[in-house]
């Protein structure tokens, strides 16, 4: 019996249209697999990755859906030409190569992961997606800042590694800011809830961080605070808004450098003192610096190859 004939018979069988003779042919073909039964792991992978899509396409009646799931697996195997794997059980499922996605300074990017999760990446951000993403869990590594809208999948937790911080979710939207050069990192939840842990000392920092809450972690002191936050301002950069909450001028300068792709040098004794809480629209750099000077009292010089910011002395 050819593959085309077998495909036709299996399709009719799953739709409940097979004649008694055709059903006998399908069952005889399936019985040939009994000599090499699938392991539990093989069944789980097969069920997760193949069968759901097959059943969605065929839409069998309820009485047929009650048949053992491996009948659907049989047609899935045929359709993807993977019968040898399931007969021999000697070859592992193929694993794709790791993928690194990055955004250069001055640009942003929105990507969709294989599970449907949408990631909006800020300028100068990188995201490492393992080749085995989705097989056991959905773990990725973030450097920089990104806003996540995570697709719900209760069987495969979504995990973001950012330095020593691990954020675990099932389905929600949130912003993570974790720049290696900055002392303060923050995870803010827009919808749903997340769990935040410190991978270095294996401690839970927030068992359940909910909407309109942010966890702010101070790397130097190792302390963390949970504060109220405005969900509308989380990931404000996506809407071309600069939003700084208790940021130092050095941190503000680093953000301008990422967004405008020009070196920004900040001088002055108070450059690392974090106390600026300001928001303003992203405009041309000259206008942004003018607004910033009016709000903070800084002075600045714009050159062709860099921007110099001088922070005034404080009493």
pLDDT of residue 277: 86
pLDDT of residue 215: 94
Determine which of 61-70, 168-177, 191-200 has the lowest per-residue pLDDT on average: 61-70
Of the pLDDT bands very low, low, confident and very high (cuts 50, 70, 90), residue 21 is low
Q: Is the pLDDT confidence value at 48 over 50?
A: no
The 3-class SS string of the chain reads: CCHHHHHHHHHHHHCCCCCHHHHHHHHHHHHCCCCCCCCHHHHHHHHHHHHHHHHHHHCCCHHHHCCCHHHHHHHHHHHCCCHHHHHHCCCCCCCCCCEEEECCCCCCEEEECCCCCEEEECCCCEEEECCCCCCCCEEEEEEEEEEEECCCCCCCCEEEEECCEEEEECCCEEEEEECCCCCEEEEEEEECEEEEEECCCCEEEEEEEECCEEEEEECCCCEEEEEECCHHHCCHHHHCEEEEEEECHHHHHHHHHHHHCCCEEEECCCCCCCCEEEEEECCCHHHHHHHHHHHHCCEEEECCCCEEEECCCCC
Tell me what the mean pLDDT of segment 26-33 comes to. 56
Q: Is the pLDDT confidence value at 100 over 90?
A: yes
Q: Is the pLDDT confidence value at 312 over 90?
A: no
Q: Quote the percentage of the chain above a pLDDT of 70.
A: 70
Q: Is the pLDDT confidence value at 199 over 50?
A: yes
pLDDT of residue 16: 62
On whether the pTM is more than 0.75, the answer is: no
Calculate the average pLDDT of the chain. 79
């Amino acid at each position: 019996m050819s593959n085309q004939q077998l495909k036709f018979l299996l399709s009719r069988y799953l739709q409940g249209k097979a004649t008694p003779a055709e059903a006998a042919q399908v069952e005889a073909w399936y019985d040939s697999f009994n000599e090499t039964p699938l392991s539990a792991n093989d069944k789980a992978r097969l069920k997760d990755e193949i069968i759901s899509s097959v059943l969605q396409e065929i839409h069998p009646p309820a009485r047929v859906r009650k048949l053992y799931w491996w009948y659907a697996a049989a047609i899935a195997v045929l359709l993807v030409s993977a019968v040898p794997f399931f007969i021999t059980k000697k070859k592992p499922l193929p694993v794709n190569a790791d993928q690194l996605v990055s955004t250069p300074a001055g640009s942003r990017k929105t990507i969709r992961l294989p599970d449907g999760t949408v990631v909006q990446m800020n300028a100068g951000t990188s995201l490492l997606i393992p080749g085995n993403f989705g097989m056991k869990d959905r773990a990725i590594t973030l450097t920089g800042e990104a806003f996540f809208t995570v697709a719900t999948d209760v069987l495969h937790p979504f995990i973001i590694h950012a330095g020593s911080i691990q954020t675990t979710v099932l389905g929600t939207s949130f912003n993570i800011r974790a720049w290696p050069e900055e002392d303060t990192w923050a995870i803010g939840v827009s919808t749903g809830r997340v769990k935040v842990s410190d991978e270095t000392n294996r401690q839970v920092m927030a068992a359940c961080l909910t909407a309109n809450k942010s966890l702010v972690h101070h790397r130097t002191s190792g302390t963390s605070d949970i504060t109220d936050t405005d969900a509308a301002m989380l990931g404000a950069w996506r809407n071309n808004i600069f939003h700084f909450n208790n940021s130092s001028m050095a941190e503000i300068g680093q953000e301008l450098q990422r967004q405008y792709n020009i070196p920004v040098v900040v001088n002055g004794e108070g450059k690392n003192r974090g106390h600026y809480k300001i928001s303003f629209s992203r405009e041309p750099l000259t206008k942004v610096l003018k607004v910033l000077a009016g709000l903070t009292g800084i002075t600045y010089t714009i050159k062709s190859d860099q921007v110099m910011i001088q922070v005034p002395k404080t009493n």
